[in-house]
Structure 1
Amino acid sequence: MTTPQAASVHPTTGDGDGLPRKLGVWSAAAAAVGLTIGSGIFRVPATVAAESGSVGAIALVWVLGGVITLCGALTIAELAAAFPRAGGIYVYLREAYGPLPAFLFGWSWFFIRSAASAGTALVFVAYLGSFVPLGGAGQRAAAVALIVLVGAANYRSVRLGAAIQDASTVAKVLAILLAAAAIFTLGQAGGGALAGPVGFAPAGLGGIGVALVAALFAYDGWIAATLIAGEVRDPGRALPRALAWGSVVIVATYLTINLAYLYALPLAELAASKAVAVDAVTRVAGAGGAALIAALVMLSTFGGLNAGLMTGPRVYYAMAEDGLFFRRVAAVHPRFGTPHVAVVLLVVLTALNASVRTFEQLAEAFVLLLYPFLALTVAAVFVLRRRRPELERPYRTVGYPLVPAIFLVGTVAMMVNSLLERPDATLLAAGIVAVGVPIYYAWRSASRRQPAGS
């Protein structure tokens, strides 16, 4: 199966996707930044601190996560420019390895995206409770209502979803940087972990690996720009820029706010914190700062939820276009120009997850499901350069082959460590993927038995 080369992509149409190209480089970058900077940066730093065991090891984990993220983005940008189609990673896996690995990614995506978006919504309503009293049932009801509201905006218009994303991304990045500035300005130089010895001795190599899994969960959303590639104008130029600059903003923002956490909180308090941003600002600004941080977390998670519900449906849409899912899911709304059935599907799955599962349950298997497919996608650059040297590549990976190799080595090491340190979660993720194999063959068999045109 082949896909038209990037040179043949029309600047305003979906190039066979049926989705109009309405988005520019900024909207694609905002989707990547907005999906990444959601709830993770307000929960994950405590896990990283607890597993790492020293200030230097904490810094090492966040830097390693940033390096892996940048290397992955710079590599996958080559595929995004060559195959600017809706579905992103699903398309690249199909082109490099065939329909089965692509289907397995799409199958896993039902769990990956709906779980991540549901977790983000639950964090939003947890902090909403700082302003409006909500019980457990009230929080779940509010989370479902928020998911439906954001989903409706993305059902109505990709431009409306992108406009929400653009505004919320700018606001959240500025707010996080302002929070960091306030911590550095108001905090006492001797009050936090940075005042003590900055050792690089980790609690153990296994702990570093577990901490890296947590950090990569916080870094995960940079692939969002690839999922909406079929709706980006001039994708050969815009997508590499969106991935590169989006990743740089993410890494810079994360390193800055983590440095602020270490400045404000002793290491033991950071590791034990359940709401690290609130604890850090409260330490330097008093109880009044907690309300401001709660508002910041709500803003951040709202933007993350919007990015997930805007970009996630494109994988289901691409699967349906290939005949690997119900054809109806590939429908494009005649008035709104959105994959409206795919949007509704993701909203329903996300609302169900938010109704019955906790944040920790939703987040646990996320990285272990996603990153094996990211590793296969990065490896696809090597595969396609060998198999299809004639393919037009508007962008070629900077630092090839070292840059993709760094991503692959880091990802494989992280997964092996997870198998050793968290075998139950790792095997559960592998089991979810394995179940997709018989489903794929059953679907293909049923499709062949259907009469033509049905």
Structure 2
Amino acid sequence: FAPLGDRGTRAVAISAILTLSAINYIGVRAGSTVQTAFTAAKLLAIGAILVAVAVMVPGHHPAALSSAATQPSIREFLLGISAGLFTFGGWHMVTYAAGETRDPEKTIPRALLIGMLIVTVCYLALNAAYLRVLPLETVLKSTRVAADAARVVVGQSGGAIVSALVIVSAFGGLSGSVLAGPRVYYAAARDGLVYYAAARDGLAFRAMGAEHPLFHTPHIAILAQALWASVLVVTGTYRTLFTRVIYTEFLFFGLAALGLLRMRRRLRPAPLLFLPACALVVINQIYADPKESSIGLLLVAAGLPVYYFLKKPNKIANY
């Protein structure tokens, strides 16, 4: 594919965000259909890669596992773990649609467990396939490991094919975020945690808690998310967004675990195991990139005065 440059890449990213937001705007069924299609395409692509490597590559690359590599420091190892956690990001988003899920007490835990197992198996199998055809040094230096492996297996055309599949995979991941994210803002508004303005009759909501009269979707939340995501694309690079997401995401994961210690006494041992892991990721990100981590923290902290202001009497209606 021809290089797009920085502006072209940002334009494509924003176009993808707006396109998927428009699809989800017109109905949850349309959004879930697109998500299902991309998930199926992704799994088929992974299966095709694994079969191609197994059939066309007789054995491990002679230098795949014997290449000398520098011993990573603990800090570098933890940064690698953070990148790995980012690739698994989104595992929790199935909970966002709990209010629209049939029998969520059973369905959500089952979906989390099965989904994580499938993703883990796919990731392990793909990495084993890459090491089967590429030297370890190539894997370490490459920014397009899948495309490089495909070129070794089926020639130059393989790199282009896998690049297209990576685009499909990225589009599918974005589709999941666009589908799930607005449900959080919508639910928070309906619970009185996000400000909304009611019409004089008290029935027509004009902000995050609004539901489209025709499509029955949280359309204001979808539009707000699309706008904010586009702003982030314009103002930040992938690396800066990655750092801010990991830092703030695990900060809130840790806070949620703390909440469980108070609310669910019978689950107290489980959150205690989760908290140190969250703290380790957060502290390591601060140490590795204090500037971007600080920006992420400031963005979160900026919501505190707004929250306390809107929680004052007569600012939020209870219903």
Taking structure 1 as the reference length, the TM-score comes to: 0.62
In the alignment, is residue 212 of structure 1 matched against residue 87 of structure 2? no
Contact persistence 1:193–1:263 (CA under 8 A): no
Which residue number corresponds to residue 191 of structure 1? 61
Which residue number corresponds to residue 43 of structure 2? 173
Contact persistence 1:176–1:296 (CA under 8 A): no
RCO comparison, higher one (Cα < 8 Å, 6+): 1
Aligned pairs for 1:47-446 within 5 A: 130=1, 134=4, 136-187=6-57, 189-191=59-61, 194-196=64-66, 202-327=71-196, 328-386=207-265, 401=269, 404-445=271-312
CA separation in 1, counterparts of 2:317 and 2:136? Answer: 65
Which sections of structure 1, spanning at least 5 residues, go unmatched? 1-129, 390-396
Q: Which AA in structure 2 matches 1:429?
A: G
**Could you say what secondary structure the match of 1:317 adopts?**
helix
Q: Which AA in structure 2 matches 1:366?
A: V
Which sections of structure 2, spanning at least 5 residues, go unmatched? 197-206
CA separation in 1, counterparts of 2:279 and 2:102? Answer: 34
Contact persistence 2:195–2:316 (CA under 8 A): no
1:275 to partner: Cα distance: 1.3
| Larger deviation, residues 268-277 vs 206-215 | 268-277
Q: Which AA in structure 2 matches 1:261?
A: Y
Cα deviation digits, residues 266-314 of structure 1 (max 9, x gap): 2222121111211121122221101210121121111111111100011
Taking structure 2 as the reference length, the TM-score comes to: 0.86
Aligned pairs for 1:18-37 within 5 A: none
1:193 to partner: Cα distance: 5.5
Contact persistence 1:265–1:280 (CA under 8 A): yes
CA separation in 2, counterparts of 1:374 and 1:193? Answer: 40
**Could you say what secondary structure the match of 1:366 adopts?**
helix
**Could you say what secondary structure the match of 1:329 adopts?**
coil
CA separation in 2, counterparts of 1:450 and 1:421? Answer: 40
1:360 to partner: Cα distance: 2.1
Cα deviation digits, residues 418-438 of structure 1 (max 9, x gap): 333333333333333233322
Contact persistence 1:157–1:336 (CA under 8 A): yes
Contact persistence 1:188–1:264 (CA under 8 A): no
1:263 to partner: Cα distance: 2.1
Q: Which AA in structure 2 matches 1:296?
A: L
1:449 to partner: Cα distance: 5.5
**Could you say what secondary structure the match of 1:153 adopts?**
helix
CA separation in 2, counterparts of 1:378 and 1:185? Answer: 46
CA separation in 2, counterparts of 1:411 and 1:184? Answer: 38
Q: Which AA in structure 2 matches 1:319?
A: A
Cα deviation digits, residues 215-245 of structure 1 (max 9, x gap): 1111111011011111111111111111111
**Could you say what secondary structure the match of 1:171 adopts?**
helix
| Larger deviation, residues 187-196 vs 222-231 | 187-196
Contact persistence 1:177–1:257 (CA under 8 A): no
1:443 to partner: Cα distance: 2.9
CA-based RMSD of the aligned residues comes to 2.7
1:188 to partner: Cα distance: 5.9
1:152 to partner: Cα distance: 1.2
